[in-house]
Structure 1
Amino acid sequence: MKRSVLTRYRVMAYVTGVLLILLTIGCVAKYLLNVSGATGFVSIVGIAHGWLYVIYLVLAFDLGSKAKMPFGKMLWMLLAGTIPTAAFFVERRITRELEPQFEAVAEPVQA
């Protein structure tokens, strides 16, 4: 497995996580605080999160299948993009678990 698979997943985990937090804040502003300008914000961020979450799903599934993760762990990784802040914690945990595999495979640099 190449490091680029993990890097792509990590980038999309952060993007998805940030958008989901913004969407949550926007929904609180729109529905609980009755902020009139929040409607457009929620629409734009919601659409962006929806499309980018699909990309996140593809990349998370790619990483999970290449790392031969158990189904439960892969499912949790896929669902992390729907729970505010979960993507950050799951990404960190997955990275810690997979980093040793990359360090063991790294080739020594010749001078």
Structure 2
Amino acid sequence: MNSNKQILNWFRNVALVEGVSMVILVMFSVLKRTTDYNWAVLGVKYVGWAHGLLFIAYIYLLWMCTDRYKWKSGRVVIFFLASLVPFAPFFVERKLKHEA
């Protein structure tokens, strides 16, 4: 693997996993509020914790890519906003896959 694209590949992978964790977290959150499943509460707790760590990694890697690859501010804002919307990190991962 080209070391020049290593951070980009890390960011792409974290974007994918962060997107999956957000979808799972939303699913557990809905189950917690609409059912009596006790395990849904634990799902929100632990998936939420993991999602929080992945979000921090996403933002850190976004910052690293911005610095290394000299991304324009518009792109950075779009990628940041994508981290806040369910399913949007999949767009980021797909976009970066074509660049890597």
Aligned letter for 1:67?
Y
Q: Which residue is 2:56 aligned to?
A: 54
Conserved in 2, the CA contact under 8 Å of 1:20 and 1:81?
A: no
Q: Which residue is 1:107 aligned to?
A: none
Measured against aligned partners, the alpha-carbon deviations of 1:45-77 in whole angstroms (never above 9, x if no partner) come to 001111121111111111122222211210221
Highest Rg: 1 or 2? 1
Instruction: Point out which structure has higher relative CO (alpha carbons under 8 A, 6+ apart).
Output: 2
Q: Which residue is 1:45 aligned to?
A: 47
Structure 1's unaligned 5+ residue stretches are 100-111
Measured against aligned partners, the alpha-carbon deviations of 1:66-101 in whole angstroms (never above 9, x if no partner) come to 2222112102212322211100112212343x34xx
Question: For the aligned residues, what is the CA RMSD?
Answer: 1.7
Over 4 Å off, 4+ runs = none
CA–CA separation in structure 1 for the residues paired with 2:45 and 2:11: 25
Question: Following superposition of structure 1 onto structure 2, how do residues 1-111 of structure 1 map, counting pairs within 5 Å?
Answer: 2-96=4-98, 98-99=99-100
CA–CA separation in structure 2 for the residues paired with 1:89 and 1:37: 31
Cα distance 1:72–1:32, how it changes in 2: closer, same or farther (>3 A)? farther
Measured against aligned partners, the alpha-carbon deviations of 1:25-49 in whole angstroms (never above 9, x if no partner) come to 1111111344332111001000111
Conserved in 2, the CA contact under 8 Å of 1:61 and 1:78?
A: no
3-state SS of the aligned residue for 2:38?
Answer: coil
| Cα displacement (A) at 1:4 | 0.4
Structure having the higher helix fraction is 2
- Count of residue correspondences: 98
